[in-house]
Amino acid sequence: MNIKKKIIELLPYSEPFLFVDELEEVTENGISGTYTFKKDAYFYRGHFKDNPVTPGVILTECMAQIGVVCLGIFLLKDRDLGNFGVALSNATVDYYLPVLPGEKVKVVSEKEYFRFNKLKCKVQMFNAEEKLVCRGEISGMIKAE
């Protein structure tokens, strides 16, 4: 099976909280992938009356799922990941542009370090026009059994 599809299958998320559509590139040093925010997603109801935008916490979650969790699964590919846990340990993100319902974004992550199952990455999100939406540092722990 294709390693990119296998990584997505191993993610501990499902709809409506899965924010990974496709992984484009995966290496020991980084990852990139895309997600299109569904126009009818639950979080748009009430997140600004008559002018819905994607909440920053959801943008951060998308960046963490693609940029940290997917990369972590790849880095642990030689271990048995039948039952593993994920915990976000830190996120510092700056936001520059809104993401509207139906928009496709690309997440690009660069590994800063991976030791003792803690992964820290510099993560950026771009819109379809390749404009920077947000960027920051996100770290998390992956507990493999």
Of 4, 6, 47, 120, the catalytic one is 47
Q: One-letter amino acid identity for 116?
A: F
Which residues are CB-contacts of 126 (< 8 A; sequence separation ≥ 6)? 105, 106, 108, 132, 133
The answer to whether residue 3 is catalytic is no
SS3 content of the chain, % helix, strand, coil (to 5): 20, 40, 40
Three-state DSSP at 54 gives: coil
Q: Which residue has the tokens 């928009």?
A: 103
Contact yes or no for 71/32 (Cβ under 8 A): no
Catalytic residues: 47
